[in-house]
Amino acid sequence: MQARRLVHLLFILSIIPICFHTDNVAFGEEDRSNEEEDNKASEFQLDSIILQGPFDGISAAYNNGLTSTINQSVTDNGVTLTINDVYYFGNEISYSYSIETNKSITAEKVKTYPPNLVGKPKIKMDGKRYDYSGRSWSKEVSKGKHVGIYTMTPMKTLPTEGKLNIKFNKAANFQGNWTFNFPIKEVQGEDIKIVKTDIPETRDVKITFAKMNAAEIAMTADVKRDINDENMLFGLLDENGNLLTKLHFLGRSVNIDEKTASKYIYKFSVPHENTEKFTLAPVKETKTGDQLINKEEKNSNIFKKTSNILGLY
């Protein structure tokens, strides 16, 4: 009887370490799993900054593999600014970025929403400085961490490739110096044919750039008109007469003698079906988007002035 009790006791003692060892392994595996999930979530946030933003053309470029990974970081005054991805097409450069710090980030109150967290960085291409119009988006993803997208559209033509220098003196509510240098090359696109229709004779429209890649169409036009005429906006139609979505527009004008000379930079969505020839036509802006101007309207003063266009600074 005593021998049986001794055997039973030895059996219990022999399995106790095994039970604790098994539990410890289980807890260890669960902790590693949670760490892996946290790391994946962090990587997802960084990799998908562009996809979180509101710019359809840039998102389409990312999904089609047209962006370049930079992942270059600079830290100043305890604030780390990182440029993650860059996309260059149609004389327009866009990049995603992140700001990380242990300090308290307060977004500066600006006229645009979401707030622009990086001000207006200075840029150079192969040592030459370029002025530009910018648009931005930003989002807080965790305490002390913001991500954003910034797009730069110069009116002067950039080289198709070269070394890009971007100098920031602001990151969120912090002042400092964050300077980046990296090579950049414009995404290749195919030339597209555009014909013009229903454009009044008082407008001299010359298309100087028109290319399409898998994500969007980029078009630049020089327009001359009488100094007393209002500006005219344009839309692009596919071969089936469908008006393509306007992704971005930038216009600048200057008065020379009795004429107004304008430069328009457009980005449009790509057509759903193959299109060999596109049509440029006057449009008007409505609450539901651009609409074609009918024959009765095309000579009336309904055209929106460039100075009223929002989102530029």
Looking at the structure, tell me whether residues 62 and 178 fall in a common domain.
yes
What does pLDDT average to over the chain?
A: 81
Pair (177, 240) in one structural domain: no
59: domain range?
49-185
Question: At residue 256, does pLDDT exceed 60?
Answer: yes
181 with 198, same domain: the answer is no
177 and 256 share a domain? Answer: no
In contact, 67 and 87? CB cutoff 8 Å: yes
pTM metric for this prediction: 0.78
Asked whether residue 194 falls in the same domain as residue 180, the answer is: no
pLDDT-derived band at 299 (thresholds 50, 70, 90) equals low
In-domain check, residue 76: yes
- Is the CB of residue 237 less than 8 Å from the CB of residue 244? yes
Residue that terminates a domain, selected from 127, 158, 185 = 185
**Which among 151, 170, 185 is the end of a domain?**
185
Query: Residue 249: what pLDDT?
Result: 93
Cα 221 from Cα 203, distance rounded (Å) = 12
Q: Is 110 helix (H, G, I), strand (E, B) or coil?
A: coil
Q: Render pLDDT for 57-106 as a digit per residue (tens, 0 to 9).
A: 999 999 999 999 999 999 999 999 999 999 999 999 999 999 999 988 76
Q: Point out the domain boundary residue: 153, 185, 217.
A: 185
Q: Are 110 and 196 found together in one domain?
A: no
For the segment 178-188, what is each residue's pLDDT rounded down to a tens digit?
Answer: 999 999 999 99
CATH number at residue 208: 2.60.40
Q: Are 94 and 123 members of one domain?
A: yes
Asked if residue 154 is part of any domain, the answer here is yes
Residues 93 and 108 in one domain: yes
- 71: domain CATH number is 2.60.40.1630
Percentage of the chain lying above the pLDDT 90 cut: 58
Secondary structure of residue 188 in the 3-state scheme: coil
- Domain membership of residue 16 (yes or no) is no
Mean pLDDT, rounded, for 227-248: 91
pLDDT the model gives residue 295:
59
Let me know if 107 is exposed, middle or buried by CB neighbors in 10 A (0-12, 13-18, 19+).
Answer: middle
Is the pLDDT at 284 greater than 70? The verdict is yes
Buried b vs exposed e over 237-258: b needs ≥16 C-beta within 10 Å?
A: bbeeeebbbbbbbbbeeeeeee
Burial state string for 114-139 with b = 16 or more CB within 10 A and e = fewer than 16: bbbbbbbbebebeeeebebbbbbbbe
Closest CA to 161 of 176, 143, 182, 140: 182
Name the burial class of residue 297, with classes exposed (0-12), middle (13-18) and buried (19+) by CB atoms within 10 angstroms of its CB. Answer: middle
Of residues 168 and 41, the one with the higher pLDDT is 168
The pLDDT value recorded for residue 231 is: 79
Q: Quick: pLDDT tens for 120-129.
A: 999 999 999 9
Residue partners of 252: CB distance under 8 A and separation at least 6? 155, 262, 263, 306
pLDDT beyond 90 at 51: yes
Specify whether the CB–CB gap between 181 and 192 falls below 8 A: no
211-232: average pLDDT:
92
State how many domains the chain has: 2
| Closest C-alpha among 194, 186, 187, 200 to residue 236 | 194
The answer on 176 and 57 residing in a single domain is: yes
Q: Is the per-residue pLDDT at 286 higher than 90?
A: no
